[in-house]
Amino acid sequence: MIRRTALRTLTTLAATAALALPLAQGAQAASPTTTATAAAATPATVNAGDDNPFRWMELDGLRADFQFMYPAGHRVGFWSLVLTDDVAQQKFAGGKFFVYAPATGEFSFFLDTDIAVRTVDHPRQVRLVDTEFMRSHPRVEVRYGDPDHPRRARVVASATTLM
């Protein structure tokens, strides 16, 4: 029981830190039109002057998305990576989505509403916010399958840091 409580506390702290990072880097609130533009953006169309922390990454099956959440009633904007529509519409059965760095064998987390989780069941729940993890690994993959056997899981999307 204590271990579970400690894990929940640690997960909450990690999610809070991941959401606070763009704010600490000077993220500004976007208007609804900016949100729509960011959601449809590809690496070729992202404005280099914006606050998108993923603009220097090569994305395959992922797109940058700007969202708002309201913790304690305060509006907070944050960037995340979500699956592109064509990937999210594919059929998935018998596994879980998870974030994996193949070079090190490490896992990251998704943001599900306002809670950091290691796996999600549905493609629309894939939301990566851990920019520190992505910066510290040259390639990060969203995989689908059994997280206990990550090398056997299907790679559905990836983000590669451009140096």
Burial class (CB in 10 A: 0-12, 13-18, 19+), 1: exposed
Kindly report the pTM of this predicted structure.
0.69
- Give the pair of three-digit tokens for residue 130: 């851990």
pLDDT one-digit tens code per residue, 40-61: 444 433 344 478 899 889 999 9
Q: Is 40 helix (H, G, I), strand (E, B) or coil?
A: helix
- The one-letter code for the residue type at 153 is A
Q: Could you read off the pLDDT of 77-135 as tens digits, one per residue?
A: 999 999 999 999 999 999 999 999 999 999 999 998 788 999 999 999 999 999 899 98
